[in-house]
Amino acid sequence: MGRMHSGGKGISSSALPYRRTAPTWLKVSPEDVKESIFKLAKKGMTPSQIGVILRDSQGIAQVKSVITGNKVLRILKTNGLAPEIPEDLYHLIKKAVSVRKHLERNRKDCDA
């Protein structure tokens, strides 16, 4: 995010913890986490939505550190539940479609 009164963009950002092991207070087994990932994927959620739900409801900050070093998307790919189009490409296509619709409705909008 840019600053209002200068050209700088700032340097602060979030940092991942140095230790790559699961925290000691987390008592969830990797199998339980995988089952909840599969359940959420079958409901039609994207990998990032699954990560947010796991973080907020079950307290799992990083799935990669809890389950043998695999990310959510890799877990879904091994079980054939990954989306056919990558998530970032899907959102770009969705944005382009919405801009086209907007331009069809508002022909005089030259900035869009």
Q: Give the chain's mean pLDDT.
A: 89
Sequence-distant (≥ 6) Cβ neighbours of residue 13 within 8 angstroms: none
Count other C-beta atoms under 10 Å from residue 37's C-beta.
24
Mean per-residue pLDDT for 43-60? 94
Residue 61: both structure tokens together? 């900050």
pTM: 0.78
The answer to whether 3 and 9 have CB atoms below 8 angstroms apart is yes
**pLDDT score for 26:** 86
86-112 pLDDT tens trace: 999 999 999 999 999 999 999 999 887
